[in-house]
Structure 1
Amino acid sequence: MTAPDSLPLHALVEDNLAAASPDLLRAMVKTFADALMIERQVRRALRGEMRGLYPGTKESVPRDG
């Protein structure tokens, strides 16, 4: 038994994006940009550049004792 022919995904995406509203495209770009910024913050945190800070703020983490 052979697999069915694959869908022309690039053509489907191109047609759907061409018909999409500007609000949808704006939301997609915002989501992508937010994902990139979060990824950058995670990399910085893993390298230790954000140690002692709450994410997204400049406040120090409260220490016990």
Structure 2
Amino acid sequence: MTAHDLTRADWRTSTRSSGNGNCVEVATADGQVAVRDSKDRSGPVLAFDPSTWRTFLHGLDEVRRR
């Protein structure tokens, strides 16, 4: 596992977030897409390569359209 430098990451929450605290935050860092729980900002972070992240988002769009 590789540690990524997230000190300068620009974390953002989805504009579709309802503000109920059940959100994730996303940032790009070190050529990866990083994801964390907005309630536990110092907790674990998942990192994905951009291609995998795009595939994931595409899958979400497909599910939403059903």
Q: TM-score, normalised by structure 2?
A: 0.34
Normalized per residue, which structure has more helix?
A: 1
Q: TM-score, normalised by structure 1?
A: 0.34
Normalized per residue, which structure has more strand?
A: 2
